[in-house]
Amino acid sequence: MGGLAGGGGGCTGNSMNARESKNSNAAAAAAAAPVHVLAVDDNLIERKLLERLLKNVSTSCTVTTAENGMKALEYLGLDDQQQDHSTITTTNAAIIQQQQQKQVDLIITDYCMPGMTGYQLLKRIKESKVLKEVPVVVMSSENIPTRVNQCLKEGAEMFMLKPLKQADVNKLIMTTHKC
């Protein structure tokens, strides 16, 4: 991947100005902040493996698991069975919806699951005003180019092939800058 590019510009030594110091402190604080990952897979062994691989990367990584897309939507507060907000003003409905939605920093989902595919889950997340910026990674044991392209086009951060290995998760973390 290459080394770090240096910015000559007359700067020598390791001194930092106030802005650089502030940015450095903010980056360190962000790196130390706990990261919440939602792992969605219908296979219990795959969920446990993903959870272990993520925790191997960072102890500050909290992993919540869901056994299918519907359970994930329910956890995220995006399920269709939310209360009817028709009598509540638009502003209040948005506030209630935000309060019902759980804060996650990264979502990793299997593609092939009963009831709702990972692609359908991805679409629902990207349609959400609150969660659309959360990176979503789709994984599958099948390498089907049209499926991969479809997920990436819909907004997936990346598409990974199963079975996942520690190197795959390390790459994921470096790419998304999470955990």
pLDDT at site 45: 96
Which of 39, 31, 99 is CA-nearest to residue 64? 39
Inter-residue contact 117 to 50 (CB < 8 Å):
no
**Encoded tokens for 73:** 């939507």
Domain ranges of the chain: 34-176
Euclidean distance between CA atoms 140 and 163, whole angstroms:
8
- Digits of tens for pLDDT over the chain (179 positions)? 333 233 333 333 333 444 444 444 434 444 557 889 999 999 999 999 999 999 998 888 899 999 999 999 999 999 875 434 443 444 555 544 444 456 899 999 999 999 999 999 999 999 999 999 999 999 999 999 999 999 999 999 999 999 999 999 999 888 887 77
Question: For residue range 33-42, what is the model confidence (pLDDT) as tens digits?
Answer: 788 999 999 9
Which of 38, 117, 106, 126 is CA-nearest to residue 75? 38
**Encoded tokens for 154:** 């819909």
User: Which residues have a Cβ under 8 Å from the Cβ of 112 and sit 6 or more positions away?
Assistant: 118, 140, 141, 142
Inter-residue contact 12 to 81 (CB < 8 Å):
no
Give backbone dihedrals phi and psi of 140, rounded to 5 degrees, phi first.
-160, 155
pLDDT at site 176: 80
Kindly report the CATH number that applies to the domain delimited by 34-176.
3.40.50.2300
Question: For residue range 91-111, what is the model confidence (pLDDT) as tens digits?
Answer: 555 544 444 456 899 999 999
- pTM for this predicted structure: 0.72
**Encoded tokens for 112:** 């092939």
